[in-house]
Amino acid sequence: MTVPLPIIAVSDGGFIQKLETLMRKLAFGLALAASMLPGAGHAQATLDMTQVTCANYLAMSPDQARVFSAWMSGWFNQKFGYITVGFDDFARNVASIRQWCTGNLQATIMSALERSIPQPGPPTGQIKVDMSLITCKQFLSSDAERQEMIAYWMSGYFRASRSQPVFDFQRFANNKKAVGNYCRKNGGETVMSAIQKSAR
């Protein structure tokens, strides 16, 4: 069975509650499963995306699944050499992953998608967005939900370019703030360029 590509969602029973508390503190609204790993002198919240299982995904709230799916979409779009996102394809892929996961609870989302073959969606009039062309001005003028989706997609995309499947919540928060500040001063620049110049 071929598993569609750009989307996924995951979280972990005991970790979800911890993550929801963390995300409230960070004011993000993403509540994924997080594990605590030691960092430079303090605990740092990270999530190893390679460890998220279908059971984790199916336990996620719709908001958690949406944000996780955006990150995974960015990751796999980069890995397969795509930069455009079709809204209909995204929704279709999320539904397909959910369906596939119901019969494969112990499988990890990442390994399932790595074995999948990207398949173009049916020819329709769907809206496709070239993520490399989104400007800082467009990003900043978007509503909070769209900004969140773009930010998580970009995070997945750039993590994939470095083969780093671990999501670091504090790094994400710091980078989102730095990119936002950079974008406020450089509205005509693309978000991808802003990330390359200001994110760490």
- Please tell me the predicted confidence (pLDDT) of residue 66: 87
Q: Mean pLDDT, to the nearest integer, of 4-10?
A: 34
Token pair belonging to 17: 């509650």
Is the pLDDT at 120 greater than 90? The verdict is no
DSSP letter (8 states) at residue 132: G
pLDDT of residue 194: 96
* Distance from C-alpha of 50 to C-alpha of 37, rounded to nearest angstrom: 16
The per-residue pLDDT for 62 is: 87
User: Over the stretch 132-164, which tens digit does the pLDDT of each residue have?
Assistant: 999 999 999 999 988 999 999 999 999 999 999
Taking only the tens place, the pLDDT of each residue in 35-88 is 323 333 345 689 999 999 999 999 999 888 888 999 999 999 999 898 988 877
- Percent of the chain whose pLDDT exceeds 90: 52
Half-sphere exposure at residue 56, Cβ-oriented, CA atoms within 13 angstroms: 29
Please state which of the ranges 2-6, 118-122, 160-164, 174-178 shows the lowest mean pLDDT: 2-6
Q: Given a cut of 70, is residue 126 above it in pLDDT?
A: no
For 26-43, write each residue's pLDDT tens digit.
Answer: 333 333 333 323 333 345
Band (22; pLDDT cuts 50, 70, 90): very low
The single residue listed with the structure tokens 């995300």 is 23
The answer to whether 11 and 57 have CB atoms below 8 angstroms apart is yes
Task: Please give the structure tokens belonging to residue 8.
Answer: 């996924």
DSSP calls for 10-57 = ---HHHHHHHHHHHHHHT-------EEEE-SSSEEEEEEGGG-BHHHH
What is the pLDDT, as a whole number, of residue 63? 86
